[in-house]
Chain A
Amino acid sequence: MATAHLETTIAPEKIAAMYLQYEVEQFYTHEAALLDHQRFEEWVDLFTDDTAYFMPIRRTVPRRNLSREFTRPGEMAFFDDDKATLVGRVQKLGTGTAWAEDPPSRTRHLVTNVRIIEDLGTELTVETCFHLYRTRLKSEIDEWIGRREDVLRRTEEGFRIARRDIYLDQTVLLSQNLSNFF
C-alpha cells in the first residue's frame, strides 16, 4: 500500500520538512493571489507591526566592486518602509485618486524557487525568486524579476512577514514607476 511504503521509507524529519515547505509555499501562493486580486488591505495584514520592507538600489559595478552592488539600509533605496508607510501606500490606492494605479494595472506575481534558508523556531528565513508581470493602461508592459529574502514569523494566525528585502535584477529601472508591491 502506498501510504505504508511512504511511512516505512521516508524519515519523519523529511516528512516534516516537506510539510513546512508546503506550508511556506501555500503562504506565498496566497500572498500572490491577494496582490493579483487587488486585496491590498488583506495583503498588508500579512506584515508584522515591526516589519521592514526594503528594496535597495542595485548598481552596475565591476566584479571586483561587487560588494557595493546594492545599497544598504540607511542609504538610498526604492522602498524603505515600515508598517505605517506600507499601510499608507495601501490607503493611497484606496482613495480612488492615485492616478498611477487608476485605471489599475493588471499584475501577475509568480513566486518560485522557494528555499527555507534557516528555521529558528519562531522565525524562518526564506528566499524566493519572483517574476512580476504587469500590464497597465492600454498597452504598457513591465516585468520585474528578482529575489526576495523574507523573515517569516510564526504567529497564531499563521506566518507573518517580519522583514522583506527585495533585490531587483534591473539597475536603471525600465519602468516609469514602482506603483505595485513585490
Chain B
Amino acid sequence: MTIEAPGTTAYLDSLVNVATGELDRRIFSDEEIFELEMQHIFGRAWLFLCHETQIPKKGDFFEAPMGKDNVLVVRQRDRSIKALLNTCTHRGNAVCRAEEGNVRNFMCTYHGWTFGLDGELVGVPGMSDFYRDELDRTKHPLRKVAQLDNYKGFIFATMDPQAPPLLEFLGRTGRIAIDLLAERGDIEARPGVQKFTLNCNWKFTADNAFDYYHPQITHISAQAVGMIPSADVNDTGGAKTDEGKALGVQRLPTDLDTLVALGEYGHAISGPSLDSMLRTLPPEMHELVTWRQNPGPLAALGPVGSRFAGHPHLFPTAWFTMDAQISLRVPRSAGVTEVWWFSFKDRNESPEEQKAQLGRQIHSFGPAGFLEQEDGENWSQSTAQTRGGASRDIPQLLKMGLGRGKIIHEDGVARIEAPVNEHAQLWTYLSWLAWVKGTSWDELRSATTPGDYI
C-alpha cells in the first residue's frame, strides 16, 4: 500500500472511494484534515447563522460560528442585518462576549475602541492625545463577512467573496430543504438555542441525518416507551429479534420506500417518502407532513419536493428536521463538535398546537432528548475508534445499495427511490472530497452535479 503525503490531492483522493463505498477513518480524527476542512469548506461555504426572528429589534445580536471565526449577526437601526467578525480591529479582543443580547454599540473592553451596530469605528479613546489625530477611523471598522443573504428569513453568510450567490449555492435541493421548514406557515424562532458538546467528529453527526438503518437498534428504548410515534399498521406488530419481542417493541419501518435527493455542492435529503411516513404515523399526527401538499407549500416545493418526509441536510452542517428544528453541528476540533438546536413555531397555529410541538421538540432531540442521547453515544464511540493505529486502517463502509442508486432527474431534483440505503451518505462524502481538495467553484459544482447512478 502506498501512503500518499498528507494534504496532497492524491492523498485526499485515497480517503474516499465511491466505487467501493469505503472511506478512510483518518478523515474523522486527523487534525491536518480538519484544518483543510476549516479552510476549504467552512471558509468558503454559505453557512447558516440564525433566523431573522432571533434578532427582531434594533441592536439585537446573535453570535454565530463560521469555522473558527465568531460572527455577530446584528439588527441595524434601519432594520437591515449585518454580520461582523467579533474581533476588535485594534488588537483583536472580542468586542462582545455574550451569545445574544441587545446593545447600542460594541465597546471593546481592552482599550475602549467603540464600534457602531454597523461595525464602523466611532470612538477611539485618546484620539488626539495619544494618536495625535493621525488614525484614520474609517480604515478600521469591524470586518464583515464576504457575503450575507437570507432565504425566507434564514440568514446565511460566506467568507468567500467568490462564492456563488446563496440561491445558486442552495440549488433546488437546498431550497426544498429550507422550504420544508419555511413553508409551514408564519415561522418564528422560539427563544433558546440548546447547545451541547460531543466528543465526536462533525461528519458523523452530518451523515447520520440520512441513516434510517440505525433507529431500530439505536432508538429501541425510545420506541419501547412510545416516544417514537407509530401507527402500528404497516407491520405485523412483531420485532425482528427475540430480544425485541421480549421488549414488546414494534418493528420500526426501516424497510419502507426511501426517497433521496442529491443536490449540488453536497446538499441531500434522505428518508421515508411522504407515503411511507403516512403509513408509520398515527392519523392524528399526519398533519406533521401533509401540510406539504397544501397549495402554498406545494407551489414552492413542487411535485417532487412535496413528496419528501425524510431528513434534509444542507452541506456542510445544517439538518432541517421534520418538526421545525434545525440541528447545526459546529465543529470545534477534529474530535469535538457542538450541537446547536434551533427550534421554530408557526405563529398561525393554535396555542395548543404550538405547545404540543414544543413538547415534541424538547423531548426528541437535544442532550436530554429521548432520541439523541443514544445518537451521541454512537458518534463519540465511532470517533474514538478512528484513532487506533490498527483500528483506523479498517475502512468505513457505505455499501448499502452501492451502484444501484438509479438517479431520476425531474422538476430540477435528482432523486433515487429505493429501500433504505446509504446513497445520501455516500453523496455527502463524495462532495466532501471535492470541497476539501480546494477545487474552484466551477470544478466543485461539476464534481457535485448528480449523474445517472451512485
Please report A residues at the B interface, Cβ cutoff 8 Å: 55-57, 59-62, 64-65, 68, 71-72, 74-81, 85, 88-89, 91-93, 95-101, 171-179
Q: Are A97 and B221 in contact (CB under 8 A)?
A: yes
**26 sample A-B contacts, Cβ–Cβ < 8 Å, listed by A number:** A57-B193, A61-B98, A61-B101, A64-B101, A65-B101, A76-B341, A88-B225, A91-B225, A92-B222, A95-B220, A95-B247, A98-B373, A99-B218, A100-B376, A171-B99, A172-B197, A173-B195, A173-B196, A175-B196, A176-B196, A176-B376, A176-B377, A177-B368, A177-B373, A178-B367, A179-B368
Q: Are B370 and A80 in contact (CB under 8 A)?
A: no
Which residues 296-355 of B sit at the A interface, judged by CB distance below 8 A? 338, 341, 343, 355
Q: How far is the CA of A85 from the CA of B358 in the complex (A)?
A: 13
Q: How far is the CA of A79 from the CA of B359 in the complex (A)?
A: 9
Partner of B198, one of A68, A89, A98, A176: A176
Fill in one digit per residue for B355-391: 1 if any A CB lies within 8 Å of its CB, else 0. 1001101110011101011101100100000000000
A115 to chain B, nearest CB (A): 26
A96 to chain B, nearest CB (A): 8
A120 to chain B, nearest CB (A): 28
Q: How far is the CA of A95 from the CA of B247 in the complex (A)?
A: 7
* B234 interface contact, C-beta 8 A: no
Fill in one digit per residue for B184-217: 1 if any A CB lies within 8 Å of its CB, else 0. 0000001111111111000000000000000000
Known A60-B98, A175-B196; contact A85-B363, beta-carbon cutoff 8 A? yes
Q: Are A173 and B197 in contact (CB under 8 A)?
A: yes
* B100 interface contact, C-beta 8 A: yes
Q: Residues of A contacting B377 with CB < 8 Å?
A: 99-100, 176-177
Partner of A172, one of B195, B225, B372: B195
Known A62-B103, A65-B101, A76-B361; contact A95-B225, beta-carbon cutoff 8 A? yes
Q: Residues of A contacting B103 with CB < 8 Å?
A: 62
Partner of B374, one of A61, A79, A100: A100
B400 to chain A, nearest CB (A): 22
Partner of B225, one of A59, A81, A92, A171: A92
Q: How far is the CA of A19 from the CA of B141 in the complex (A)?
A: 64
Tell me which of A65, A91, A173 has the highest count of chain B C-beta atoms within 10 A of its own C-beta.
A173
Known A95-B225, A176-B199; contact A76-B192, beta-carbon cutoff 8 A? yes
* B102 interface contact, C-beta 8 A: yes
Q: How far is the CA of A149 from the CA of B221 in the complex (A)?
A: 30
* B227 interface contact, C-beta 8 A: yes
Tally B residues with Cβ within 8 Å of A: 45
* B394 interface contact, C-beta 8 A: no
Q: Residues of B contacting A178 with CB < 8 Å?
A: 196, 367-368, 373
Q: Are A98 and B192 in contact (CB under 8 A)?
A: no
Known A98-B221, A172-B197, A174-B197; contact A62-B368, beta-carbon cutoff 8 A? no
Q: Are A77 and B192 in contact (CB under 8 A)?
A: yes
Q: Are A76 and B194 in contact (CB under 8 A)?
A: yes
Q: Residues of A contacting B237 with CB < 8 Å?
A: none
Q: Which residue of A lies closest to B222 (CB)?
A: A92
Partner of A71, one of B191, B220, B224, B374: B191
Q: Residues of B contacting A57 with CB < 8 Å?
A: 192-194
Q: Residues of B contacting A65 with CB < 8 Å?
A: 98, 101-102
Q: A76-B194, A97-B224 are in contact. List 18 more A-B contacts (CB 8 A).
A: A57-B192, A59-B100, A61-B101, A77-B192, A78-B366, A78-B368, A88-B227, A92-B221, A92-B225, A97-B220, A97-B221, A98-B221, A172-B338, A176-B196, A176-B197, A176-B367, A176-B376, A178-B373
Q: Are A71 and B192 in contact (CB under 8 A)?
A: yes
Q: Are B99 and A59 in contact (CB under 8 A)?
A: yes
Q: Residues of B contacting A77 with CB < 8 Å?
A: 192, 362
Partner of A80, one of B198, B359, B380: B359
Q: How far is the CA of A75 from the CA of B342 in the complex (A)?
A: 11
Partner of B367, one of A93, A96, A171, A177: A177
* B226 interface contact, C-beta 8 A: yes
Fill in one digit per residue for B82-116: 1 if any A CB lies within 8 Å of its CB, else 0. 00000000000000011111110000000000000
